[in-house]
A and B are shown apart, each in its own frame.
Chain A
Amino acid sequence: AQSVTQPDIHITVSEGASLELRCNYSYGATPYLFWYVQSPGQGLQLLLKYFSGDTLVQGIKGFEAEFKRSQSSFNLRKPSVHWSDAAEYFCAVGGGSNDYKLSFGAGTTVTVRA
């Protein structure tokens, strides 16, 4: 069965500083990996996805993520955080089965301080 672990429940970062959110997955084959962001009071928005090919993927809002098969990781990064990046971030994994289901991590809440 597929599963996702986000080790950090809450991260606080200063505006302008870099951000890295960790995601580890468990999956038997090549996974499809996703990062979603949930701003306060909003639904989830897809930031970026990895299916195959280049292991460094670019997303919206200046985010990128790197797939590392050897570490079963798909960490999300942003070089310079803006106050509007304060949100909850979810990593998700899917793939291989015919039911197209996603498994989500528990989420990481990001607080941005001025």
Chain B
Amino acid sequence: DADVTQTPRNRITKTGKRIMLECSQTKGHDRMYWYRQDPGLGLRLIYYSFDVKDINKGEISDGYSVSRQAQAKFSLSLESAIPNQTALYFCATSDLESPYEQYFGPGTRLTVT
């Protein structure tokens, strides 16, 4: 079984809808991250969390919110989706001893029409 899972893998939604992307991990890592990937821009950090009570904004957090429900679960919400949020979204984890070595989920392809 995959160590970092993301649901759904693909989602099409309409402008203005609220949507939640979920991430679960079985690696026992404390740190979790949400990135979005756009062609030609690489990965950009949306939010990151060092533990359940520690949530931090990344470089492109506007229009997004997150919830760390447990050590193993980190959800990303788009409160009112807009077309320029169409992207590939990745969740990643890392542990205390190797904080820069991040392990990625398979990604969620989100399309906002």
Contacts of A49 in B (CB 8 A): 100-101
> Per a CB cutoff under 8 Å, which of A4, A9, A43, A95 touches B100?
A95
Contacts of B4 in A (CB 8 A): 43
Q: With A99-B56, A100-B31, A100-B99 known to touch, is A44 a contact of B42 (CB < 8 Å)?
A: no
Q: With A49-B101, A94-B100 known to touch, is A44 a contact of B90 (CB < 8 Å)?
A: yes
Chain A CB within 10 Å, residue with most, of B100, B102, B103: B100
| B interface residues, how many (CB within 8 angstroms) | 24
Q: How far is the CB of A64 from chain B (nearest CB, A)?
A: 18
| A interface residues, how many (CB within 8 angstroms) | 24
CB-based contact A101/B48 at 8 Å? yes
Interface secondary structure of B, over-half rule: strand
CB-based contact B100/A106 at 8 Å? no
Contacts of B107 in A (CB 8 A): 42-43
Q: With A43-B90, A43-B107, A44-B90 known to touch, is A102 a contact of B102 (CB < 8 Å)?
A: yes
Residue in chain B with minimal CB distance to A6: B42
Q: How far is the CB of B75 from chain A (nearest CB, A)?
A: 17
Contacts of B24 in A (CB 8 A): none
**0/1 per residue, A25-44, Cβ < 8 Å to B?**
00000001010100001111
Contacts of B100 in A (CB 8 A): 32, 34, 49, 94-95, 100, 102
CB-based contact A106/B101 at 8 Å? no
Which A residues fall within an 8 A CB radius of B?
A: 4, 6, 9, 32, 34, 36, 41-46, 49, 90, 94-95, 99-102, 104-107
Which B residues fall within an 8 A CB radius of A?
A: 4, 31, 35, 40-45, 48, 56, 58, 90, 92, 94, 99-107
